[in-house]
């Protein structure tokens, strides 16, 4: 099902999704975006113009997804991929020479050489995410900029990577399923920065600031760095998984105690913002759809970001496609999560989560 707004960079269908202990991160300034004075001037100009129209915008630090390593289901070792833009609607592959056009490299040296070395895999780990730092301001001035096509060309010409100059902030989203088999959607308000009025899933971004505060490090706007986080990558993985539960709590007003452990389905790309990546999770909820609706209307910490809650049965979600009436009402992040849910099929009794073989 081709859709120019979204595609899948990675799906974890072989494992029916990944749990927190199966994911690790590699952190380095080497994974930050490239820049130059002219680009910084452009970013500052875009930010100033946006603030004049939307003074409520906040520039927070975000994690930047540079690339990833994934264990091969066939036990051929590991392969790595950069996170370049894919063709809309294509489905990520698990093995072979290419994931949606991304060149892979196996542990024995096959494929095309990459810029980064193979990470050390912890026992039980399946996926390694390579992360740098970026911020919302840089995202608006690169991925969301009117000059993004030129930035991609420059990145390819100067660094051999079309994403080198882009912020590529890593988002998170959740297919949240109630105990009576309903998937939770929210209608975005008219005051959010993107996809106003469209149907979305609960989501947001993992926060470097939250990791720093948890580790006792200064977390002011200009004080966040990777130095301490590099010593505690487990704290970053914890934030990747816990941040989506926090988003559900704040956006839908569901208590954390009612949520199951997040299951990572894969990575989706939003092509309306130059292929911005997002980790998409499946999360079960012990509450019914009626209970969720009641809590939603009581209002959570971020209730102003949406105007309504909508439910679709898991059967309806499995049948969603471009010809479905609701598909055109969904923002790209929701579409990507639905595509991953249809591929990974998490939560099915006959297909429990499996460890790496």
Q: Which residues pair with 280 in a beta bridge?
A: 173, 266
Half-sphere exposure of 220 (CA within 13 A, CB side): 2
> What's the whole-number mean pLDDT along residues 255-277?
96
Sign of CA dihedral 67, 19, 4, 40: negative
Tens of pLDDT, residues 211-232 = 999 888 766 666 788 988 999 9
Quickly count helices (H) and strands (E) in the chain.
Answer: 9, 14
Level-2 CATH architecture, domain 6-71+124-344: Alpha-Beta Complex (3.90)
How many C-beta atoms surround the C-beta of residue 181 within 10 A? 16
Considering only residues 301 and 185, tell me which one the structure prediction assigns the higher pLDDT. 185
CA distance 293 to 298: 9
> What's the whole-number mean pLDDT along residues 131-144?
96
Over 38-106, what HEC string results?
HHHHHHHHHHHHHHHHCCCCCCCEEEEEEEEEEECCCCCCEEEEECCCCCCCCCCCCCCCEECCEECEC
Considering only residues 298 and 109, tell me which one the structure prediction assigns the higher pLDDT. 298
Is 235 a residue whose pLDDT tops 80? yes
88: nearest Cα among 258, 328, 339, 304: 339
Residue-averaged pLDDT of the chain: 85
Instruction: Report yes or no: 66 and 83 within 8 Å, Cβ to Cβ.
Output: yes
CA distance 73 to 50: 45
Instruction: Note every long-range contact of 143-152, with CB atoms under 8 Å and residues 24 or more positions apart, other chains counting.
Output: 143/167, 143/168, 143/169, 143/273, 143/274, 143/275, 143/276, 144/194, 144/273, 144/274, 145/42, 145/43, 145/46, 147/42, 148/274, 151/39, 152/85, 152/274
Query: Of all residues in the chain, what percent carry a pLDDT higher than 70?
Result: 80
Is 190 a residue whose pLDDT tops 70? no
C-alpha angle 325-11-188 in degrees, rounded to nearest 5:
40
> What's the whole-number mean pLDDT along residues 172-193?
89
Is 330 a residue whose pLDDT tops 60? yes
Half-sphere exposure of 263 (CA within 13 A, CB side): 26
- Model pLDDT, residue 289: 98
Half-sphere exposure of 21 (CA within 13 A, CB side): 7
Per DSSP, 330 falls in state B
User: Which H or E run contains 186?
Assistant: strand 182-188
- Model pLDDT, residue 191: 65
Query: Of all residues in the chain, what percent carry a pLDDT higher than 90?
Result: 66
Considering only residues 259 and 86, tell me which one the structure prediction assigns the higher pLDDT. 259
> What's the whole-number mean pLDDT along residues 300-329?
90
User: Which H or E run contains 250?
Assistant: helix 233-252
Residue 192: pLDDT band (50, 70, 90) is low
Q: Is 348 helix (H, G, I), strand (E, B) or coil?
A: coil
- Model pLDDT, residue 347: 75
Instruction: Report yes or no: 335 and 284 within 8 Å, Cβ to Cβ.
Output: no
257: left (phi over 0), alpha (psi -120 to 50) or beta: alpha
């Amino acid at each position: 099902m081709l859709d120019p707004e979204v595609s899948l960079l990675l799906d974890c269908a072989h494992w029916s999704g990944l749990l927190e202990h199966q994911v690790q991160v590699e952190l380095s300034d080497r994974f930050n975006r490239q820049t130059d004075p002219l680009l910084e001037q452009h970013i500052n100009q875009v930010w100033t113009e946006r603030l004049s129209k939307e003074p409520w915008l906040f520039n927070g630090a975000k994690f930047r997804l540079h690339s990833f390593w994934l264990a091969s289901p066939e036990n051929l070792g590991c392969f790595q991929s950069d996170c370049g833009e894919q063709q809309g609607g294509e489905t990520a592959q698990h093995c072979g020479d290419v994931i949606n056009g991304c060149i892979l490299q196996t542990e024995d040296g096959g494929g095309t050489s990459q810029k980064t070395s193979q990470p050390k895999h912890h026992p039980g780990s399946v996926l390694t995410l390579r992360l740098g730092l970026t911020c919302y301001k840089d995202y608006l001035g690169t991925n969301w900029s009117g000059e993004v096509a030129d930035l991609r060309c420059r990145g390819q010409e100067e660094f051999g990577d079309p994403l080198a100059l882009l912020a590529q902030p890593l988002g998170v989203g959740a297919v949240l399923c109630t105990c009576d088999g309903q998937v939770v959607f929210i209608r975005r308000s008219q005051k959010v920065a993107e996809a106003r009025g469209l149907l979305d899933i609960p989501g947001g971004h993992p926060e470097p600031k939250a990791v720093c505060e948890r580790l006792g490090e200064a977390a002011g706007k200009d004080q966040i760095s990777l130095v301490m986080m590099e010593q505690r990558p487990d704290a970053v993985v914890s934030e990747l998984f816990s941040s989506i539960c926090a988003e559900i709590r704040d956006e839908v007003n569901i208590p954390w105690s009612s949520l199951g452990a997040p299951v990572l389905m894969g990575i989706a790309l939003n092509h309306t913002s130059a292929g911005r990546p997002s980790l998409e999770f499946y999360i079960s909820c012990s509450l019914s759809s009626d209970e969720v609706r009641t809590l939603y209307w009581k209002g959570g910490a971020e209730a102003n970001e949406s105007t309504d809650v909508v439910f679709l049965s898991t059967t309806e979600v499995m049948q969603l496609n471009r010809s479905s009436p609701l598909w055109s009402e969904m923002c790209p992040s929701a579409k990507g999560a639905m595509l991953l849910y249809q591929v990974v099929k998490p939560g099915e009794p006959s297909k429990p989560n499996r460890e790496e073989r």
